[in-house]
């Protein structure tokens, strides 16, 4: 019996040693140590042994069992370690490899300007409003004192969609919309930045451009309020020490009307190519809201007055960033746009 056990042990150890994977190891465990295994069978047959032999054989079987179990455990550990090493080798991450570049977008120069203008006017108590880009003749012109056939319509080459609808040529259209929406209530203090369209195309004019409109209506609004507001606006956007010049002009929706020039921020007013040797650069249209416009849009000109102004945001962006062709702002060329990512840092 002893020899038989030793033989089982020998064969079993060989088999465990030979096992090359977890499955073979498990098969060996079942074959020798399982319920129907060879060692278990020996234990079962112990009833036939003499009283002296029994404990000797019993303890031998147990020793062999433990030995086999240990051997199996040890083999299992070896597999685990080998598997871990294999994984570590296969799944190594080379941290010295150059990483994939994460490209960060940047704000469009026009959006930068719009946000700056909005921040400034919001800080002065204005609301930011918007209006449709596909506008009616009524709001774009008629309600701004430009009835059909008015010669001043010729100043704006328009894209008409039908005889009543056009792409708005000026954000001034929002003045009338705001007044109508406020139904005679005051104060009105709004700016409206947005896209505008005219049949233009050269280095300083694009068929699509951007304007910001300003409108204030209340009791006792005067030219002094307009001047003070525009001084803050222009100096904040273009330079604190700049001078402003109010030049009488004509706009159908304001009376009196002014074009506002700023002393050239490039040459300081001495004269250069930017200001065409005049020392001044035109930046804004403005004026005191025409009584007809107040009346047409629900405000009594005897009681209320207001000022309005409008300026091209593209021009402001071009001045501020030294852009020489307005069309660059609308071509979505990343080589151009990428240059502005530095402004965020």
Footprint of ligand DAH on this chain (CB under 6 A)?
A: 170, 172, 213, 251, 254, 285-287, 308-310
Min separation Cβ 139 and ligand DAH, Å: 13
| Complex with ligand DAH: residue 206 or 254, whichever CB lies closer | 254
| Complex with ligand DAH: residue 197 or 319, whichever CB lies closer | 197
The two three-digit tokens of residue 67, written as one number: 């030995």
Min separation Cβ 288 and ligand DAH, Å: 8
| Complex with ligand DAH: residue 200 or 243, whichever CB lies closer | 200
- Angle, CA 34 vertex, CA 30 and CA 35 arms, to 5°: 145
Min separation Cβ 101 and ligand DAH, Å: 43
Min separation Cβ 338 and ligand DAH, Å: 31
Rounded Cα distance between 200 and 161, Å, is 17
Min separation Cβ 129 and ligand DAH, Å: 14
Fill in the DSSP letter of residue 278.
S
Look at residues 111, 108, 115 and name the one whose alpha carbon lies nearest to residue 332.
108
| Complex with ligand DAH: residue 159 or 336, whichever CB lies closer | 159
Rounded Cα distance between 85 and 263, Å, is 75
| Complex with ligand DAH: residue 106 or 172, whichever CB lies closer | 172
Min separation Cβ 159 and ligand DAH, Å: 15
Q: Which residues contact 175 (CB under 8 A, 6 or more apart)?
A: 144, 213, 215, 253, 289, 293, 297, 308
Cβ–Cβ under 8 Å, residues 321 and 341:
no
Strand order in the sheet with 254-263: 127-128, 188-197, 208-218, 305-312, 280-289, 254-263, 244-251
| Complex with ligand DAH: residue 76 or 142, whichever CB lies closer | 142
């Amino acid at each position: 019996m002893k020899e038989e056990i030793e033989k089982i042990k020998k064969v079993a150890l060989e088999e465990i040693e030979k096992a090359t994977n977890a499955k073979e190891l498990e098969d060996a465990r079942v074959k020798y140590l399982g319920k129907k295994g060879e060692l278990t069978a020996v234990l079962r047959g112990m009833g036939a042994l003499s009283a002296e032999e029994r404990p000797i054989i019993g303890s031998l079987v147990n020793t062999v069992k433990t030995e086999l179990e240990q051997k199996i455990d040890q083999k299992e550990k070896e597999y685990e370690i080998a598997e871990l090493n294999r994984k570590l080798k296969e799944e190594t991450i080379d941290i010295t490899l150059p990483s994939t570049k994460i490209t960060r977008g940047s704000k469009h120069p026009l959006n930068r300007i719009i946000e700056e203008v909005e921040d400034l006017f919001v800080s002065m108590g204005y609301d930011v409003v918007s209006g449709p880009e596909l506008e009616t003749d009524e709001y774009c012109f008629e309600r701004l004192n430009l009835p059909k056939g008015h010669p001043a319509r010729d100043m704006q080459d328009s894209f008409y969609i039908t005889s009543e609808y056009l792409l708005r040529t000026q954000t001034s259209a929002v003045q009338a919309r705001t007044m109508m929406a406020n139904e005679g209530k005051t104060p009105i203090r709004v700016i409206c930045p947005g896209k505008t369209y005219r049949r233009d195309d050269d280095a300083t004019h694009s068929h699509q451009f951007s304007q910001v409109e300003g409108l204030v209506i209340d009791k006792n609004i005067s030219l002094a309020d307009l001047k003070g507001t525009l001084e803050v606006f222009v100096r904040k956007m273009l330079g604190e020490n700049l001078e402003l010049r109010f030049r009488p002009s004509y706009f159908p929706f304001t009376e009196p009307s002014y074009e506002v020039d700023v002393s050239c921020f490039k040459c300081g007013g001495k004269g250069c190519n930017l200001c065409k040797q005049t020392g001044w650069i035109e930046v804004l249209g403005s004026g005191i809201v025409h009584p007809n416009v107040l009346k047409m849009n629900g405000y009594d000109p005897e009681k209320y007055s207001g000022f309005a102004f409008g300026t091209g945001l593209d021009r402001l962006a071009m001045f501020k960033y030294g852009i020489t062709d307005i069309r660059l702002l609308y071509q979505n060329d990343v080589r151009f746009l990428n240059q502005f990512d530095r402004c965020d840092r």
